[in-house]
Amino acid sequence: MALLKRIAGHNRQKEIIINALRRGRIATTYLFCGESGIGKKTFAVEFARLLNCEAPLPGPDACDNCSSCRKISTNRHPDILLVSPEANLIKIEMIREVQEFLSMAPYEGKTKVVIIDEAHLMNQAASNAFLKTLEEPAPESLIILVSSLPEQLLETIRSRCFRLNFSPLNEDDTRDVIKTYLNVHGEASLETLLKLSMGRPGLVGSALSEGVLDEFDDFSRVLTHGSVPDRIKDRADMEHWIDRLLIILRDLVLVQTLPDTGEKVLFAANLEDFYSRVSKKFETDFIIKLYTQLNEIKRMLRFNINLAIARNVIESRLKEQYQ
């Protein structure tokens, strides 16, 4: 994979980065913003690969074959540090590791690169420590913050970053990612996953298409028993689960109000029989109300509502139908 050759979509962002490279005006810190699953972190890794490639191609672009490119592919490059949240939090110890990493000159690459995924999950102590790092940037280094909720970062951090906003992929680019990187080739599965991802193929993750589709079968039990699955462990899990439940509710309303609708209108057309069966158990007004409430809960998750509270609210709303 390389920034120009293999990254699907995000052409404007590619152009901005490539033009900065050509002019020798790379910022010291970037903030990559956008919804989850649209490729921000992947873009950041490929940016780091390009900066450290030993034999860059015209464009410029990474060769994908040199020692540096191969080490980045296997996450073994000594000058690339990827920081990810632990237990939905980035603590000050992680930022101190970043500071120590940046205090040393590149070991074998051209530029030391730190990528902080879901950077908005830094706690207060970590944010304050990180701010000091931004105020005194290390030479021959680059920091990339990746965030789906940049408004939760300190304003003093955001103001010191060059911000790039990323959008969901178009249909063709989404299809390319799902087909190429998730190894999905069956037309029915491909088209279903294309609809479900809604331009965010990363939400499908590395799971097999059958596993993703099986998850939708679980919603039969969710709607029947009014319980949130125990496997949901953090905010991201809950947000993705709500996204999929919203798809189910949207399709249910279509089945109820447009009974002769074709499968092309449904996001999860493979569940058409399930929709016909379940739609008889719920009033349209209830489904629309639940859809609105779930969107509100999803918004509240972005402001760190307690996960247990979110779970209890959803379950109480689901059980209202049976009272």
Q: What is the pLDDT of residue 218?
A: 66
Return averaged pLDDT per consecutive 10 residues of the chain, 323 residues in all.
73 93 93 92 94 90 92 94 90 96 93 96 95 90 95 94 95 86 69 77 58 60 75 78 82 78 58 72 85 86 78 82 56
3-state SS record for 98-152: HHHHHCCCCCCCCCEEEEECCHHHECHHHHHHHHHHHHCCCCCEEEEEEECCHHH
Q: To 5 degrees, how large is the angle CA 11–CA 17–CA 19?
A: 100
Looking at the chain, how many residues does it have?
Answer: 323
Could you tell me which residues are beta bridge partners of residue 122? 90
Q: What is the pLDDT of residue 244?
A: 78
Rg (CA), the chain: 22
Q: Is the Cβ–Cβ distance between 119 and 84 less than 8 Å?
A: no
- Angle made by CA atoms 114, 119, 122, in degrees to the nearest 5: 110
pLDDT of residue 210: 41
- Nearest-angstrom CA–CA distance, 284 and 322: 15
CB contact at 8 A, 114 and 102: yes
Rounded CA-CA distance 148/36 in Å is: 6
Q: Measured on CA atoms in the order 21, 26, 30, 34, is the torsion positive or negative? A: negative
Q: Which two tokens stand for residue 293?
A: 């409430």
Q: What's the pLDDT score for residue 201?
A: 84
Report the interhelical angle of 209-217 vs 235-257 (nearest 10°).
Answer: 70
How confident is the model at residue 1, as a pLDDT? 47
The full set of domains in the chain, from first to last, is 11-165 (3.40.50.300), 171-322 (no CATH)
Owner of token pair 């109480």: 316
Q: Where are the alpha helices (DSSP H) in the chain?
A: 11-23, 40-52, 67-73, 92-102, 124-135, 155-158, 171-181, 187-197, 209-217, 219-225, 235-257, 272-278, 284-301, 307-319
Q: What angle do CA 132, 133, 136 make, to 5 degrees?
A: 90
